Structure 1
Amino acid sequence: MAVPWLVLLLALPIFFLGAFVWAVFEHFLTTDVPATMQQRAKLRALHCGFLYVLTLGNILEKLGICSMPKFVRFLHDSMRIKKDPELIVTDLHFGTIPVRLFQPKAASSRLRRGIIFYHGGGSVFGSPDCHHGLCNHLARETDSVLLMIGYRMVPDHHSPAIFHDCLNASVYFLKAVETYGVDPSRVVVCGESIGGAMAAIITQALVGRSDLPRIRAQVLIYPAVQTFCLQLPSFQQNQNVPFLSRKFMVTVLCYYLAIDLSWRDAILNGSCVPPDVWRKYEKWLSPDNIPKKFKKRGFQPWSPGPFNEAAYLETKHTLDVENSPLLADDEIIAQLPEAFLVSCENDILRDDSLLYKKRLEDQGVRVTWYHLEDGFHGSLIFFDKKAFSFPCSLKIVNAVVNYVKGI
């Protein structure tokens, strides 16, 4: 009886070591860390760890033990949450939707500013616990009441569940903002990555709602505002940059939109989009809309592959405004509140921000743009991780805090 246990004890370290070696090899064989990025060695080490966790999660999923997304979320939710003596933090439910409310303890002579925060992670990673430190900092430094929404995630839920949860929780909060000590004329929506997309989508969905306070501003931190054109200059230039490679993004996109992974190539080469649709949206998606200085590095003009109707039928919801807010009608865009847009040079989603910036400005919407030459996708989440933080992480947080304080 002792022999099987002994074999198991010997096999486990070999298994974990093998998975780690595989992750390290994958990093150095497939990953590009541009010379312009700061603390490159630390970035490489963190990315190796990231790939290691994904490798373990994928193995567990293949063994039928646990899905990869749930395994990753279990790990980052096991991190200790620090209490802030200056804030009252309350976990609530708006219906079935879990939310976390951050309220300054100090008395205020007037109603405070409100922030509705949608966390990132592609609906695969991320959670209220993972983003607790960030929201804690934003609420404290801006002296705001902050609501973080914990939406349903894959693999159990797919689009449009995240949209419905974010919209319903936002409406619930907006209808009762004064009971939370919030000034209804100073409510800001904020999100990063897919959370930035949600901030844009929710702001669009609330246009014309006379029964709700009007959103004062939208803060979009490297948002994904379209889900079907994956050959923009930044997608080509940064396709292998941590922590969001183009290959990984397509995988996450398929998870989120419940698209079979066999259609990844069709999504990448654009053959899933009808020619008339490309012509219709070319005015908003064309690389001509991106300043020349962003196209100097490794961009090749691109044309979509031959149209594949079967692929279109399986993936056509990528064209829905709820998944691609860049495609909203001009009359909706023109009614949006001012925006604060953050983009990172070493991010495949850089051009999403540039294209959305142009769309907003073309319709007369005021945009404040903050671009980081040394920034990369996901850098925001490291800002409070001490030894794991990067200069660009703190720059983004400080820029957001300064902007929100001006509202």
Structure 2
Amino acid sequence: MAVLWLLLLLAGLPTFLLGVFVWVAIQNFLTADIPSTLKHPVKLWFMHCIGQYLIALGNILEKLRICAMPRFLQFLISLMPIKKDPNVLATDMHFGTVPVRLIKPKAVSSKPRRGIVFYHGGGAIIGSLDSYHGLCSFLASETDSMVLIVRYRKLPSYHHPVLANDCLSATIYFLTHLESFAVDPSRVVLCGESIGGWAVATVMQVLTRILSLPQVQAQVLIQPILNFVNFQLPSYQQSKNVPFLTRDMLFLCLCKYLAIYLSWKDAMLAGAVIPLDKWKKYQKWISHENIPRRFWRQFSQPESLGPFNEAAYLESKHIWSAEISPVLANDKIISQLPKTLLVSCENDILRDDVLLYKKRLEDQGVPVNWYHVEDGLRGCIMFLDKKYLSFPCSMKAAKAVIGYIKGI
């Protein structure tokens, strides 16, 4: 009898998995918004479906108490092969308790190299040293730099501020040992993508107050999230269902990382967690009025704060901290930041976070270079080395970053 049940289970499993995929595909066919300006729309839709399918399987395993969804995704990511560049050397080590990977060109340099500290993306759920190995190898090779990738701790076991603290501690260690890594102290760059870009902003704001360390010369923020307060900006309305980061997925990552119950999502979307006094104080920095008119569309509406929900505010009030929403840092801190490259993509729900930060920096006299990928989509740069999964915008974003860093 036990053997019979086992055979039935094995026979039914493929049918179940296929059924879940069909359900996900139909759901995304109805809801996913594939912009007409994007090239390879079918590939984008299929990749998005695969991603949503794996998340759905992870959620099923989590509900069955077999495995947490983030751990399931992390396991799958760990199975992906690494594309190794024969022109670079990679060394894994620890800075204290933080795992890092050093990547440098094989060619011998007669002088200290530029140093790039890179924080990977992945919404604090996925992303790893291996998944960003190709991109960082490309950066090291093309810019003749020493690249340090930081592997911070992630969900489900670790929440804010662990990610930022790991990045900060690894960066401080690196800055205090530049000579031993043959890195030029006058050419150090912080670089990060997605939540890694957020880490760059938060770490950089802390480093401005540590005068004993070598000064970071530039920061590169690639599609960062910088505002956890105003979710009614034009890009949040225009790209809420655009792959690879939908509004639902954004809030899932955000709430898990900040330990906010997902049930408060609607209140946060409606602005019901924003007290009127705080809105009056910070509106000049985070309002849609700071977004250039050319990024507005007919269905983009100005902010309309819902009836204030005190319970939701108390649950989420830590979003008002500059350590969480870097765009809210005071003028003195902003004015001390180094020159900056901001990379944004048109079809990205977080596009307007970049535009808000751009204005904050420029208003305080910080030199800003801004590269906007008109046909870009969320996370395109991380697909650079994934031959059949990359998009034309992947190389555009990478070349912008490389060109900027080579000028430092």
2:82 is aligned with what amino acid? I
- In the alignment, is the contact (CA less than 8 A) between 1:346 and 1:374 conserved in 2? yes
Quick one: distance in 2 between partners of 1:228 and 1:77? 33
Alignment map for 1:203-222 (pairs within 5 Å): 203-222=204-223
In the TM superposition, what is the alpha-carbon distance from 1:297 to its structure 2 partner? 4.5
Q: Which residue of 2 aligns with 1:267?
A: 268
Structure 1 residue 257 and structure 2 residue 263: aligned? Answer: no
Quick one: distance in 1 between partners of 2:109 and 2:118? 22
Alignment map for 1:2-401 (pairs within 5 Å): 2-401=3-402
Please give the per-residue CA displacement for 1:16-62, whole angstroms capped at 9, x wherever unaligned.
Answer: 10110111012112111111111111100100111111111111111
What percent of counterpart residues are identical?
57
- Bigger mean CA deviation after superposition, 385-394 or 75-84: 75-84
Please give the per-residue CA displacement for 1:276-331, whole angstroms capped at 9, x wherever unaligned.
Answer: 11111100111111111100242012211111111111101111111100001101
- The ranges of structure 1 where at least 4 consecutive aligned residues each deviate by more than 6 angstroms after the TM superposition are none
- Bigger mean CA deviation after superposition, 78-87 or 236-245: 78-87
Quick one: distance in 2 between partners of 1:298 and 1:3? 57
Quick one: distance in 1 between partners of 2:88 and 2:19? 44
Quick one: distance in 1 between partners of 2:302 and 2:260? 27
- Count of aligned pairs: 407
In the TM superposition, what is the alpha-carbon distance from 1:379 to its structure 2 partner? 1.1
2:36 aligns to what SS in structure 1? coil
2:97 is aligned with what amino acid? T
Quick one: distance in 2 between partners of 1:34 and 1:235? 15
- Bigger mean CA deviation after superposition, 104-113 or 143-152: 104-113
1:34 aligns to what SS in structure 2? coil
Quick one: distance in 2 between partners of 1:82 and 1:295? 40
- In the alignment, is the contact (CA less than 8 A) between 1:159 and 1:257 conserved in 2? yes
Please give the per-residue CA displacement for 1:98-136, whole angstroms capped at 9, x wherever unaligned.
Answer: 111112221111110000000001101111111111111
- In the alignment, is the contact (CA less than 8 A) between 2:84 and 2:134 conserved in 1? no
- In the alignment, is the contact (CA less than 8 A) between 2:346 and 2:374 conserved in 1? yes
- In the alignment, is the contact (CA less than 8 A) between 2:230 and 2:287 conserved in 1? no
In the TM superposition, what is the alpha-carbon distance from 1:199 to its structure 2 partner? 0.7
In the TM superposition, what is the alpha-carbon distance from 1:4 to its structure 2 partner? 1.3
Quick one: distance in 2 between partners of 1:80 and 1:240? 30
Quick one: distance in 1 between partners of 2:123 and 2:317? 19
1:122 aligns to what SS in structure 2? coil
The CA RMSD measured in Å over matched residues stands at 1.0
Quick one: distance in 2 between partners of 1:208 and 1:3? 67
2:280 is aligned with what amino acid? R
In the TM superposition, what is the alpha-carbon distance from 1:85 to its structure 2 partner? 2.4
Please give the per-residue CA displacement for 1:197-251, whole angstroms capped at 9, x wherever unaligned.
Answer: 1111111110032211111000000110111211100100111100111121111
1:99 aligns to what SS in structure 2? strand
In the TM superposition, what is the alpha-carbon distance from 1:84 to its structure 2 partner? 2.5
Quick one: distance in 2 between partners of 1:382 and 1:26? 25
- In the alignment, is the contact (CA less than 8 A) between 1:285 and 1:355 conserved in 2? yes
- In the alignment, is the contact (CA less than 8 A) between 1:237 and 1:297 conserved in 2? no
2:130 aligns to what SS in structure 1? coil
Quick one: distance in 1 between partners of 2:311 and 2:75? 37
- Bigger mean CA deviation after superposition, 121-130 or 156-165: 121-130
Quick one: distance in 1 between partners of 2:395 and 2:51? 21
> Structure 2: which 5+ runs fail to align?
none
Quick one: distance in 1 between partners of 2:6 and 2:244? 38
1:237 is aligned with what amino acid? Q
- In the alignment, is the contact (CA less than 8 A) between 2:221 and 2:342 conserved in 1? yes
- In the alignment, is the contact (CA less than 8 A) between 2:239 and 2:246 conserved in 1? yes
1:40 is aligned with what amino acid? P
1:123 aligns to what SS in structure 2? coil
In the TM superposition, what is the alpha-carbon distance from 1:158 to its structure 2 partner? 0.2
Quick one: distance in 1 between partners of 2:5 and 2:235? 52
TM-score w.r.t. length of structure 1: 0.98
Quick one: distance in 2 between partners of 1:394 and 1:96? 34
Quick one: distance in 1 between partners of 2:270 and 2:293? 23
2:283 is aligned with what amino acid? E
In the TM superposition, what is the alpha-carbon distance from 1:2 to its structure 2 partner? 2.5
1:256 aligns to what SS in structure 2? helix
